[in-house]
A and B are shown apart, each in its own frame.
Chain A
Amino acid sequence: MSDTLSKIEKRTAYILILPAVFIVFSIILFPIFANVWISFKEVGLKDIRIPEPRAKKIVKSIKDNPDQLKIIYKLRNSSLILEIRDVKFQDKLPKNIKPINLDERCSVKSNKIYCKFGNWEAKYRENFQILLQSSDGKQINKKELKNIKPKLTGKSDNILLNTNFTLKNFKKVFFQNEFFDLLSTTFYYTFFGTIGSIVFGILTAQLVNQKFFGRTFMRSVLLFPYVGPVVALAYTWELLLDPYSGTLNNLLMNFQVIQEPLNLLGQKYLTINFFGFDLKLRLALTTVIIFEIWRYFPLAFLFILARLQAVPKELYEAAEVDGAGPLQKFINITLPQITAVISILFMIRFIWNFNKFEDIFLLTGGASGTRTLPINVYEQGFTISDIGMGSAVSIVIVALLLIFMFVYFKLIGKRADEN
């Protein structure tokens, strides 16, 4: 009895869960594996269109002979690169019409024309004609004839499905793509973005954890950058930072902080004279990192605040009795209480920032030294139109991610053991 019950339970469970698993599998897991496949192929953006046989039908009357009509089919292979094999053609004729002098590739069966055109190489074109004769002397309705659409079928190689593999893409990724420049930019962006958002998260959480007028309002406001749409925020920042008509540059020049406008998003390096040393600051990258921090510190704030509110008040009271000042309280009570949250946050945000695409894409498009790996995926795939290369870069990202996740789960597991 219980056996059948558990069987029913299992079956129900699978019924309930399979639709969700199926959709996640086909949209998320399948593409990750498909990336591996595509990355070993030489595929361009134009190759992914499946070649189609096409026909444009033109009906023409013939002078001095109202009983006859001519149809011209402009046949072509839609692909510029691939051939189509075994092209078959089919078109219907109105009942009172018969073809005369039919092409030898074709045959007629119960008012339908069937043709076998064989193989069409790439860019193939042909003007194919059929002469028609009305069998009962009535005039042929041209419009009716034109509205019947011919059907064409053919077989073609799908470049994605054949088994020609190559290592070219990976060679290019590692040796012709300024790979280490990409990697270091990505790491700078990820690391400083993560650290910055956590530092500001701690500051703001500490702030909001105190009592003051308008505290709930402040809490909502702090989350605005995180919930706002990235497109709107990125364009607003772009306007704000514009070197000529931007508010920030004009303000700074108005108050004589700077003499010349700074192209914050378009200048790769800014040389700063620091006690006689020339320091080169990566200006555009720094700006993009600041935007990143501005947009994502609210998340750190949210987590740290939740943790701070769970710290027992007695701890602080006891410390006060022992004569601890605010700084000591912060270092000896608050910080140890939030280290666990911070380490989780660090790893989560590190992984997310590593994959960030939209922010940089909208602000600089990857120019002036802000090209990270995700931006490179887009550039390779859709700007240079090399799908294979794009996939290869994606694979590199996935591999690095897997390493991060391995470390993350190792550390989380360790922490769970300790508690």
Chain B
Amino acid sequence: MKTKSLIYYSLISSIFLFSLVSIWKILVTLQGIELKNFNFAIIITLGIAISLLNILIGDKLNYIIKSTFFALIFTFIDGYIVQLMPIWYNIGIFGILIFFSLKINKYNQKYLATEHSSQIVVFDFLTLFGIVLFSFVILFPFYMMLITSFKTQAALLINPLDFSINFNQDFKELFKSYFVIFDTYKFGRYILISTFVSVGTVIVTLIFAIPAAYAVARLNFFGKNFLSTSILIIYMFPAIVLVIPLYTVFSQLGLRNSVGGLLIVYTATTLPVAIYMLQGYFRSIPKELEEAAIMDKLNWFGIIIKIILPLSIPAISSVALYVFMIAWNEFLFSLMFLDNPNSFTLSRAIQYLSGDAETPRQYLMAGSVVVTIPVLLIFVYFEKYLVSGLTAGSVKG
């Protein structure tokens, strides 16, 4: 056994244990329970002691007995230090310790004697640490958004750290913010408008993009290469440089404040990437199929409808989902073009709501939940399609 490996192992494992326990303590604090200290020194010392004991005991004890033993010791000492905690806090600590002891069980004297063992130990724990930390950092804002929408203004002011929800209250009380945004702020209407704009954008984009992509993929014409490179360059131009001229022209044409105007802009901004993604897929369809169709005297329209479309359902779905997501999440143009509350999209409506400093923030969060849930559901359900869309949508090749 190498001393260096042993030191690395005990240090990194105790730091990992400390971070697990601290995240648990943060979550407990957010249930409105007073907890003021992470007890860094004590937990690290305990962690090092447990890691060393683990090596010392090795295989002499059954691993289940060993883990339970460690967990019990830790829970008792921790419970003694923080004191007066609800029992579920201690159960949580116990669970974390069982998990931790099972993780360190695989390390023994023999293991730490192998080459690179110190590096491997550090990598193992960094992986675990990364999984816990990233999940926490990413999910926490979503968790906060959801919880805040169920709280009341008064509760939020009394203790901003109290994230607990009282499930015993009336259903109507619990979902009050949602009732308010649908009744008072007409969010039902905004959902309809957002859905209409997003689905409309998908349909119109596909109607324009499929023929164009087919032409770029299959037909020979003058300016084809120029066109396919310029598609990508155009895609790089940001919305912010288009805003002023579009605002001016749309104002003069009376297209501002209309959902139709928004639909045209969304279509134009998503067309380049839709064409790019589709033509790549069309190229992979064997040409022989179309040649047979030409023999059968099908025209181009027939070829696209009868041969290309049925074969490209996966590609078309990923384009459709990608475009839907872009249109649903879009904010800049809806901010610029819409100033009549009757034609707001969801994003614009939430921004409008926040413009009034008096708006209680649980309403704002309820609105945010309403706009976020559909995209996240679609994303989780159709992840495979959307990921390929995201990949193609943001980079060439």
A complexed with B: yes
Residues of A whose CB lies within 8 Å of any CB of B are 6, 9-10, 12-17, 19-21, 23-24, 26-32, 34-35, 38, 43, 48-50, 158, 160, 203-204, 207, 210, 212, 218, 220-233, 235-237, 239-240, 245-247, 250-251, 254-256, 294, 299, 302-303, 306, 323-327, 344-345, 348, 351-352, 355, 357-358, 362, 374, 377-378, 381-382, 387, 390-391, 394, 397-398, 401, 405, 412
Is B372 a contact of A358 with CB atoms below 8 Å?
Answer: no
Cβ of B173 < 8 Å from any Cβ of A?
no
Do the beta carbons of B215 and A17 come within 8 Å of each other? yes
Q: Does B216 contact A (CB under 8 A)?
A: yes
Output the nearest chain A residue to B156 by Cβ-Cβ distance: A245
Chain B nearest CB from A78 CB (Å) reads: 13
Are B371 and A229 closer than 8 Å at their CB atoms? Answer: yes
- Least distance between B147 CB and chain A CB atoms (Å): 10
> In the complex, how many angstroms separate the beta carbon of B337 from the nearest chain A beta carbon?
12
User: Which among A15, A48, A387, A397 is the interface contact of B241 at CB below 8 angstroms?
Assistant: A397
CB closest residue in chain A, given B147: A247
Contact of B236 among A50, A325, A345, A401 (CB under 8 A): A401
A357 to B29, CA, bound (A): 36
* B148 within 8 Å of A (CB atoms): yes
The interface residues of chain A lying within 8 Å CB-to-CB of B336 are: 382
Tell me which of B137, B139, B161 has the highest count of chain A C-beta atoms within 10 A of its own C-beta.
B161
Q: Is residue B93 within 8 Å, beta carbon to beta carbon, of the partner chain?
A: no
**Contact, CB under 8 Å: B36 / A254:** yes
B350 touches A232 (CB 8 A): yes
**Interface flag for B178 (CB, 8 Å):** no
- With A34-B245, A357-B240 known as contacts, the answer to whether A16 contacts B214 (CB < 8 A) is yes
Say yes or no: is B38 at the interface (Cβ < 8 Å to chain A): yes
Q: Contacts A17-B215, A325-B120, A397-B238; is A232 near B372 (CB within 8 Å)?
A: yes
- List which B160-184 residues lie within 8 A (CB) of chain A: 160-161
Task: Find the B residue at minimum CB distance from A231.
Answer: B347
Assuming A207-B127, A229-B329, is B119 touching A345 (CB within 8 A)? no
When the two chains form their complex, are residues A401 and B237 in contact, meaning their CB atoms are under 8 A apart? yes
* 26 contacts across the A-B interface (CB closer than 8 A): A9-B221, A10-B222, A13-B221, A16-B211, A17-B211, A17-B215, A20-B211, A20-B212, A27-B264, A35-B244, A35-B245, A38-B248, A212-B127, A218-B134, A218-B135, A223-B390, A227-B379, A232-B372, A239-B148, A239-B364, A240-B140, A245-B160, A254-B161, A302-B390, A387-B248, A394-B240
User: Which one, B9-17, B76-84, B266-274, is touching chain A?
Assistant: B266-274
Given A23-B271, A34-B249, A348-B395, verify A362-B216 contact (CB < 8 Å).
Answer: no
Nearest-neighbour CB distance to chain B for A382, whole angstroms, equals 8
| Leading 10 A-B pairs by shortest Cβ distance | A27-B268, A355-B238, A325-B116, A232-B368, A31-B245, A34-B245, A20-B212, A16-B211, A13-B221, A13-B219
Distance from B127 Cβ to chain A, minimum over Cβ atoms (Å): 6
Of B283-291, B309-317, B380-388, the one with at least 4 CB within 8 A of chain A: B380-388
Q: B233 contacts the other chain (Cβ, under 8 Å)?
A: yes
A17-B221, A49-B251, A158-B252 are known; give 6 further A-B pairs, CB within 8 A.
A20-B211, A220-B380, A231-B350, A251-B26, A362-B351, A394-B241
- Across the interface, which residues of B come within 8 angstroms of A31, CB to CB? 241-242, 244-246, 249
> Does B69 sit within 8 A of A, measured CB to CB?
no
Is the beta-carbon distance between A377 and B371 smaller than 8 angstroms?
A: no
A178 to B367, CA, bound (A): 37
With contact pairs A24-B272, A48-B248 given, residues A236 and B212 touching in the complex (Cβ less than 8 Å): no
Contact of A26 among B120, B268, B269, B369 (CB under 8 A): B268
Instruction: Report the minimal beta-carbon distance from A228 to chain B, rounded to whole angstroms.
Output: 5
Query: Nearest chain A CB to B169's CB is how many angstroms away?
Result: 22
CB distance from B83 to the nearest CB of A (A): 17
- Report if B328 contacts A (CB, 8 A): yes
Contacts of A247 in B (CB 8 A): 30, 144, 160-161
Neighbouring B residues of A377 by C-beta, 8 Å: 240-241, 243-244
Task: Report the separation of the CA atoms of residues A303 and B219 in the bound assembly, to the nearest whole angstrom.
Answer: 31
Query: What's the Cα separation between A16 and B191 when bound, in Å?
Result: 34
B376 with A302: CB separation less than 8 A: no
The reply to whether A230 and B329 contact each other, CB–CB distance below 8 Å, is yes
* Nearest chain B CB to A154 CB, angstrom units: 16
Contact of B215 among A13, A34, A390 (CB under 8 A): A13
* Bound CA span A141–B345, Å: 45
Cα A306 to Cα B142 in complex, Å, equals 26
Which residues of chain B have C-beta atoms less than 8 A from A325's C-beta? 115-116, 119-120
Whether A233 touches B141, Cβ cut-off 8 Å, given contacts A21-B212, A38-B244, is: yes
A17-B212, A348-B394 are known contacts. Are A378 and B234 too (CB-CB below 8 A)? no
B262 CB → nearest A CB, Å: 11
Contact partners of B144 in chain A: CB under 8 A: 236, 239-240, 247
From B248, B364, B383, name the one whose CB has the most chain A CB atoms within 10 angstroms.
Answer: B248
Contact of B361 among A14, A21, A239, A254 (CB under 8 A): A239
Contact of A9 among B131, B212, B220, B329 (CB under 8 A): B220
Of B156, B209, B376, the residue contacting A228 (CB under 8 A) is: B376
State which residues 197-215 of B face A: CB under 8 Å. Answer: 208-209, 211-212, 214-215
Task: Point out the residues of chain A lying under 8 angstroms from B259, CB to CB.
Answer: none
Question: Once bound together, how far apart are the Cα atoms of A233 and B347, in whole Å?
Answer: 11
CB distance from B231 to the nearest CB of A (A): 8
